[in-house]
Structure 1
Amino acid sequence: MSSPDLNEVRLQISQTDSDLLKLLAQRRALSIEVAKSKLASSKPIRDTSREQQLLVELIEQGKPLELDSHYVTQVFHSVIEDSVLLQQAYLQQHINPETIANKVRVAFLGQQGSYSHLAAHKYFARRAEEVIEHGCKNFKEIIAKVENGLADYALLPIENTSSGGINEVYDVLQHTSLHIIGELSVPVEHCLLVATDTTEEKIRTIYSHFQPIAQCSDYLGMLSDVTVERTDATSHAFEVVANMKRDDVAAIGNAEGGRLYGLTPIRTGLANQAQNFSRFIVIARKPVDVAEQIPAKTTFIMSVKQRPGALVDALLILKQNNINMCKLESRPIPGNPWEEMFYVDVECNVKSSNMQLAMEQLQDITTFIKVLGCYPSDDIKPTEPELD
Structure 2
Amino acid sequence: MSDNQDLLTPIRDEITQVDQQLLALLAKRRGLTNQVAEAKIKSEKPVRDQHREEQLLIKLIKLGQTLGLDPHFVTQIFHVIIEDSVLNQQALLAERANPDSAQPLNRVAFLGNKGSYSYLATQKYFSRRPGELLEIGCQSFNEIIQKVESNQADYAVLPIENTSSGSINEVYDQLQHTSLSIVGELTHPVKHALLVSGPTDISQIKTLYAHPQVFAQCSHFLAELGNIEVKTCDSTSAAMVKVSELQSDKVAAIGSEAGGSLYGLTVIKSNLANQKENHSRFIVVARKAVNVPLQVPAKTTLVMSTVQKPGALVEALLVLRDNNINMTKLESRPITGNPWEEMFYIDVEGNVTDGPMLNVLEQLKAITRYFKVLGCYPSEEITPTKVAAASALRDEIN
| TM-score exceeds 0.5 | yes
AA at the equivalent of 1:361: Q
Q: CA deviation at 1:357?
A: 1.3
Q: CA deviation at 1:17?
A: 1.1
CA distance in 2, matches of 1:298, 1:94: 20
Match of 1:25 in 2: 27
Match of 1:88 in 2: 90
Verify: 1:74 aligned to 2:40, yes or no.
Answer: no
SS in 2 for 1:176: coil
Match of 2:288 in 1: 286
AA at the equivalent of 2:347: D
CA distance in 2, matches of 1:173, 1:376: 19
Match of 2:142 in 1: 140
Q: Please give the per-residue CA displacement for 1:170-225, whole angstroms capped at 9, x wherever unaligned.
A: 00011101000000001110100100100111111110001111100111112112
Match of 2:396 in 1: none
Q: CA deviation at 1:103?
A: 2.2
Q: Please give the per-residue CA displacement for 1:91-148, whole angstroms capped at 9, x wherever unaligned.
A: 0000101122332110000000000000001000010342100000000110111111
Verify: 1:252 aligned to 2:260, yes or no.
Answer: no
Contact in 1 for aligned 2:164/2:274 (Cα 8 Å): yes
Q: Alignment partner for residue 169 of structure 2, among 161, 167, 170?
A: 167
AA at the equivalent of 1:104: N
SS in 2 for 1:386: coil
Q: CA deviation at 1:64?
A: 2.4
AA at the equivalent of 2:8: L
CA distance in 2, matches of 1:115, 1:11: 35
Could you say if the C-alpha distance between residues 352 and 57 of structure 1 is closer, same or farther in structure 2, counting changes exceeding 3 Å?
same
Q: Please give the per-residue CA displacement for 1:266-324, whole angstroms capped at 9, x wherever unaligned.
A: 00111011111100000001000101101110001000111111100110111111111
CA distance in 1, matches of 2:291, 2:125: 18
CA distance in 2, matches of 1:218, 1:383: 34
Matches within 5 A, 1:202-221: 202-221=204-223
AA at the equivalent of 1:71: F
Matches within 5 A, 1:129-278: 129-278=131-280
- Structure 2: any 5+ residue segments left out of the alignment? 393-398
Q: CA deviation at 1:329?
A: 0.1
CA distance in 2, matches of 1:93, 1:144: 26
The 4+ residue runs of structure 1 with deviation greater than 4 A are none
Q: Alignment partner for residue 364 of structure 2, among 350, 362, 371?
A: 362
Verify: 1:378 aligned to 2:385, yes or no.
Answer: no
CA distance in 1, matches of 2:230, 2:142: 25
Matches within 5 A, 1:267-346: 267-346=269-348
Contact in 1 for aligned 2:95/2:101 (Cα 8 Å): yes
AA at the equivalent of 1:250: A
Contact in 1 for aligned 2:185/2:282 (Cα 8 Å): yes
Q: Alignment partner for residue 127 of structure 2, among 114, 125, 131?
A: 125
Q: How much is the aligned-residue C-alpha RMSD, in angstroms?
A: 1.0
SS in 1 for 2:225: coil
SS in 1 for 2:16: helix
CA distance in 2, matches of 1:305, 1:351: 27
TM-score, normalised via structure 2 length: 0.96
SS in 2 for 1:127: coil
Q: Alignment partner for residue 8 of structure 2, among 6, 26, 29?
A: 6
CA distance in 2, matches of 1:256, 1:270: 15
Contact in 1 for aligned 2:30/2:85 (Cα 8 Å): yes
Contact in 1 for aligned 2:218/2:272 (Cα 8 Å): yes
CA distance in 2, matches of 1:59, 1:364: 52
CA distance in 2, matches of 1:91, 1:321: 26
CA distance in 1, matches of 2:101, 2:56: 33
Q: CA deviation at 1:53?
A: 0.8
CA distance in 1, matches of 2:336, 2:207: 36
Match of 2:37 in 1: 35
CA distance in 1, matches of 2:122, 2:185: 10
AA at the equivalent of 2:204: K
Q: Percent identity?
A: 57
SS in 1 for 2:177: coil
